[in-house]
Every structure is written in structure tokens, then in C-alpha cells.
């Protein structure tokens, strides 16, 4: 039994609001899965992140009928985690994961690599995630890699994803009310989202803690929806985020030397799901100006699929294993915003 367990793959995708863990066979069979709370160490701290990972891993083992198996239970582990932004993060989180003994061979990566691997069919390309945060990664046909720190203003990001857009959306509603900005439907849409009478009530609720600050990220969707309906103020804010996404994808393709080649661009994250197609269309139009042969793929599977596929790569599984795993995963409408 121990030797059989050693041939299994543990795939983990850990984000700000949730953690997914899959147990996969080397033949691509999906044996168990679980979803747990967020595990971004930058938000919760390292110990809390590891506790979240541990509970989710235990649940996935239980779903596979391996309750009570003590680590190291699984041979290969691929942990694609939000917050693995700098080499120091990779070292700290690898040490923490290895110390828990969930897997005998553990690889810790940024979660954007899971998005790229899940969406790409060529094995290389550009992957961009625009959910609560924004990140981009590129892998070239020659094996070269491009990444960004993605630490907000600290690393030069001008619009750090849905979190930035959500906070700006509340600000635009407040500015319209106090005369610093022009008219916008956000004045009504923002408080309506929270069931409150006006933007000032939303501000007060966030200030007092009645509404958690993190919930402002939800307003990114409100802004994108208003922009699609023709609100010029909302459209301007969305445009800033579009420009930042385009800048990251364009810089990545140029640094990889593939801006004039056919290159897959995988779009993942809540702001790229089908309900907000106008956002993705604006991004695609901007990217095509600098990368005219880009082929876009909207990720229609959970990013943990990419972690599992990276695990299959690590054990040199055949193409049939990848096909079997992809076939076992029902398509999703989009990835959660956070």
C-alpha cells in the first residue's frame, strides 16, 4: 500500500479565498478532491496558511478513501500557491510544505503557473490571472520563463486586479456624490450591492468593520457590469485595469521573444468569465496590437487541474494520462474572483 501511495500525485491550488486539493493517479485518474479555506500566507500568515493546506489535503485523502493515512502519504506533490511572488517566498513555503510531510517530493510554484498549464495545449505560452489580484507568467518554447513580483504598488503595478478595481469603484461613487466626479450609475449600484441606502453608508460600514474590507473586491464585478451598460465613469476605471493586463501580457511575450509568433494566451480569473465577456474582449483587442498572432484561451477548468498536469509532467506520464484527467473535469463557467 505504501508503494502504491508513493505513485500518486497530490495537486494543490491555494488562493486568497479557497484551496483546492486533488489526488491523482499516474494514469490521470482523479481519485479524490476537496475544497478548503484560503491559504495565501501574505493574508493569513504562514502558520494559518499551512493549517488550511493541511485540512484540505486531509479532506482530499479522505475523499479518496485514504482516511487516517499518516504522511508521507503521497509521492509527488505540486503546490501552486498565491503569494509565491519572490524567491524568498518560494524558499519559505517550500520549507514549510516539506516540514509537514504531505508528500515525499514537493514542488512549490506560483499559482499563475497552474492557470497556464491548465489552459495551454502547446506546453508553453502566456498565462494571466485577473481575479482579486493580477499576475502574469510566461514560458517560452525554449524553456525560458518570465514572471512578475505582483506586489501591487510596491512592484510598480498600476492596477492590481479586482481588489484595486473594487476599491476604486466605491471611490468613484463617493466622488460623484460629493462633487469631485461626474454622474455615474455606480452611485446606485454600489450601495445596492450591499443592501445599503447610499455610498456613504457603504464607506461607514467598511470603516467600522460591519463590512469586511475584502468584500470591496466584489465591487469589481459591479464596475465591469456598469461599464458594459455604457457608464463612462465605470468604463474609464475598467480601462485602466485592461491597460495593465495588456501591458503585462505584451511585456511577457516580448521578453520571451514570441510577440510575432503564434502564442497561446490563457486568460484566467473571475473577471474573464463568461458573464463579463466585454472585459476579456477589451484585453484581447489590446494584446493583439502588439502580439497579432495571439491565440486566446479562456480557462474553463479549475486551476488545480494545472497543478495536477504539472504533477503528471513530473512523473513523465504519457499523453493519455493528460487526456484522461482533462476528460474527468467538467467545464466551469469561470474562476472565482478571489
pLDDT value of residue 69: 63
3-class SS of residue 91: helix
72 is a domain residue: yes
Q: How much is the average pLDDT of 61-89?
A: 86
Q: What is the 3-state secondary structure (H, E, C) of 100-149?
A: HCCEEEEEEEEHHHHHHHHHCCCCCEEEEEECCCEEEEEECCCCCEEECC
pLDDT value of residue 52: 95
209 is a domain residue: no
pLDDT value of residue 70: 64
- For residue 180, pLDDT over 90 is answered with yes
77 is a domain residue: yes
Alpha-carbon dihedral 248, 249, 253, 256, rounded to 10 degrees: 50
- List the one residue out of 266, 239, 326 whose CA is nearest residue 111: 266
> Residue written as cell 516539506?
98
141 Cβ contact list (under 8 Å, min separation 6): 122, 124, 258
pLDDT value of residue 116: 95
97 is a domain residue: yes
A 10 A CB-CB count for 39 gives: 31
- For residue 39, pLDDT over 80 is answered with yes
311 is a domain residue: yes
316 is a domain residue: yes
Distances (CA, A) of 230 to 199, 224, 251, 279, 285: 20, 10, 30, 13, 18
Distances (CA, A) of 157 to 52, 127, 170: 28, 17, 20
pLDDT band at 3 (very low <50, low <70, confident <90, very high): very low
Q: How much is the average pLDDT of 136-146?
A: 94
pLDDT in tens, 280-311: 999 999 999 999 999 999 988 999 999 999 99
Which domain covers residue 312, as residue numbers?
2-119+301-328
pLDDT value of residue 334: 44
The CATH code of the domain that includes 56 is: 3.30.420.40
pLDDT in tens, 208-223: 999 999 899 999 999 9
What would the grid cell of residue 20 be? 483546492
- For residue 149, pLDDT over 70 is answered with yes
Question: With left for phi above 0 and alpha for psi between -120 and 50, is residue 257 left, alpha or beta?
Answer: left
Q: What is the CA radius of gyration of the chain?
A: 21
Number of domains composing the chain: 1
27 is a domain residue: yes
- For residue 207, pLDDT over 80 is answered with yes
Specify the range with the lowest mean pLDDT, choosing from 64-73, 219-228, 241-250, 289-298: 64-73
Distances (CA, A) of 216 to 109, 130, 132, 220, 258: 28, 16, 10, 8, 37
What would the grid cell of residue 98 be? 516539506
Amino acid at each position: 500500500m505504501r508503494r502504491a501511495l508513493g505513485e500518486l500525485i497530490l495537486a494543490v491550488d491555494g488562493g486568497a479565498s479557497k484551496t483546492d486539493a486533488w489526488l491523482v493517479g499516474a494514469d490521470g485518474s482523479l481519485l479524490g478532491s476537496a475544497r478548503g479555506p484560503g491559504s495565501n500566507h501574505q493574508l493569513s500568515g504562514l502558520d494559518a496558511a499551512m493549517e488550511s493546506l493541511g485540512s484540505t489535503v486531509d479532506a482530499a485523502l479522505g475523499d479518496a478513501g485514504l482516511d487516517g493515512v499518516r504522511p508521507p502519504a503521497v509521492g509527488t506533490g505540486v503546490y501552486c500557491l498565491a503569494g509565491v511572488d519572490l524567491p524568498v517566498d518560494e524558499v519559505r513555503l517550500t520549507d514549510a510544505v516539506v516540514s509537514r510531510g504531505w508528500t515525499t517530493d514537493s514542488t512549490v510554484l506560483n499559482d499563475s503557473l497552474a492557470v497556464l498549464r491548465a489552459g495551454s495545449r502547446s506546453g508553453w505560452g502566456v498565462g494571466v490571472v485577473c481575479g482579486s489580484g493580477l499576475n502574469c507568467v510566461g514560458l517560452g518554447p525554449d524553456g525560458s520563463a518570465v514572471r512578475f513580483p505582483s506586489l501591487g504598488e510596491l512592484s510598480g503595478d498600476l492596477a492590481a486586479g479586482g481588489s484595486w478595481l473594487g476599491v476604486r469603484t466605491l471611490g468613484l461613487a463617493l466622488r460623484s456624490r460629493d462633487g469631485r466626479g461626474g454622474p455615474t450609475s455606480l452611485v446606485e449600484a454600489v450601495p445596492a450591492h450591499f443592501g445599503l441606502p447610499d455610498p456613504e453608508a457603504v464607506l461607514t460600514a467598511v470603516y467600522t468593520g460591519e463590512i469586511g474590507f475584502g468584500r470591496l473586491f466584489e465591487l469589481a464585478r459591479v464596475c465591469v457590469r456598469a461599464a458594459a451598460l455604457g457608464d463612462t465613469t465605470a468604463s474609464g476605471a475598467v480601462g485602466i485595469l485592461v491597460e495593465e493586463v495588456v501591458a503585462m501580457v505584451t511585456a511577457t511575450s516580448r521578453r520571451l521573444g514570441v510577440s510575432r509568433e503564434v502564442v497561446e494566451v490563457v486568460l484566467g480569473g473571475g473577471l474573464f468569465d463568461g458573464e463579463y465577456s466585454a472585459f476579456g474582449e477589451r484585453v484581447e483587442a489590446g494584446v493583439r496590437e502588439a502580439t497579432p498572432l495571439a491565440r486566446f484561451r479562456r480557462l474553463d477548468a479549475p486551476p488545480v487541474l494545472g497543478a495536477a498536469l504539472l504533477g503528471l509532467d513530473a512523473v513523465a506520464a504519457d499523453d493519455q494520462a493528460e487526456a484522461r484527467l482533462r476528460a474527468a473535469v467538467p467545464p466551469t463557467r469561470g474562476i472565482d474572483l478571489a
